[in-house]
Chain A
């Protein structure tokens, strides 16, 4: 039975699609059968970030409408075994994304995959609500910046009240925060919120900290999820986040100045264990 993970944030441009692509690819690299599904109808971009934009023939909406079989719409990644992409429609209306239709597709995917990653659109409207509705777990992507944190907090509230798990009074959606575009130098100068501050305010376990990195843009330029670039710090940080998600206890890299990393380890390690 697959686990459904929604990648969400509320605010746009914080790295949802980058994270969905990198995290999904990272899970597949760990041998998990993973599908990444784009829920951003009308503004599809996951295919571009995953580098399969020219192979999209059918999409999620086609499957929902019965115009294509699921197998016709799933795109196998050419680099990583066990990784597939389900693109969404660029032209259809958002209302095509019906809850019943999505449920059917997800149920079918559940039989075949270990993990289903739902790449949510920005905002808190229909598309975002549909993306999170069936989630078992959530990755809340947050920049260390006031508007992003506020929106993330809002999303945490919506996950706790509007998901299917909430409506059925089941165990709540397990939410994690992933901090992206973290700049240690600016944190040291007091210009950017610290990881500890973000965690304290959102009160969620910390899945990972992705440092601000030029390699993220380079990765999207060529359509290769940044996690495949193990030379880059961002790629390594995503790999760490995946390993942490799968239960390993790993030091949080790229969060503290070199000299204090030992102290930092103890502190952040506790953060994860306490809340996980």
Chain B
């Protein structure tokens, strides 16, 4: 048996090993929960429940100027003992029209 054949067989074993192991989904669970709990705590606690509406409003304003998917805007509140941070992240699409813009300008 050649080295080539042996290594092929070896990689086959290796591949099936990887295939057999189920995906590591715990990290996904954690991420999903963190987002959800932050949102639900903000809606059930004494914290003013304006985040969902604020998110909608910001979406509408941005959509006046750029086409953007709903999931490209994230709004989170990081609560501290003294002050809380309102964290708004807007992911804009790549400037595909930048050349056009220059031409127009």
Contacts and interface: CB of A to CB of B under 8 A. Distances in A.
Interface in B17-52: 21-27, 29-30, 32-34, 36-37, 40-41, 44-45
Contact of A157 (B29, B30, B41): B41
A194 interface: yes
A189 B22 contact: yes
Contacts of A105: none
Contacts of B22: 189, 191
Contact of A146 (B21, B23, B29): B29
Interface stretch (A49-57, A92-100, A147-155, A213-221): A147-155
A193 interface: yes
| Size bracket of the A interface | 10 to 19
A197 interface: yes
A122 interface: no
Q: Name, among B27, B34, B37, the residue most crowded by chain A CB atoms within 10 Å (CB to CB).
A: B37
A247 interface: no
Contacts of A161: 44
A145 B33 CA distance: 10
Contact residues on B (Cβ < 8 Å of other chain), bracket: 10 to 19
Nearest to B44: A157
A73 B41 CA distance: 40
B45 to A, nearest CB: 7
Interface string A176-193: 000000000001011111
Interface string B6-25: 00000000000000011111
A146 B32 contact: yes
A201 interface: yes
B103 to A, nearest CB: 50
Given A150-B33, A197-B30, A201-B30, A157 B25 contact: no
B24 A201 contact: no
Contacts of A193: 26, 29-30
Contacts of A191: 22, 24-26
B25 A150 contact: no
A187 to B, nearest CB: 7
Nearest to A186: B26
A234 B32 CA distance: 29
Interface string A239-272: 0000000000000000000000000000000000
Given A146-B29, A150-B37, A154-B44, 8 more contacts: A150-B36, A157-B41, A189-B22, A190-B24, A193-B29, A194-B26, A197-B26, A197-B30
Interface of A: 145-146, 149-150, 153-154, 157, 161, 187, 189-194, 197, 201
Q: 6 closest A-B pairs (Cβ-Cβ)? A: A190-B24, A157-B44, A197-B30, A190-B26, A193-B26, A146-B29
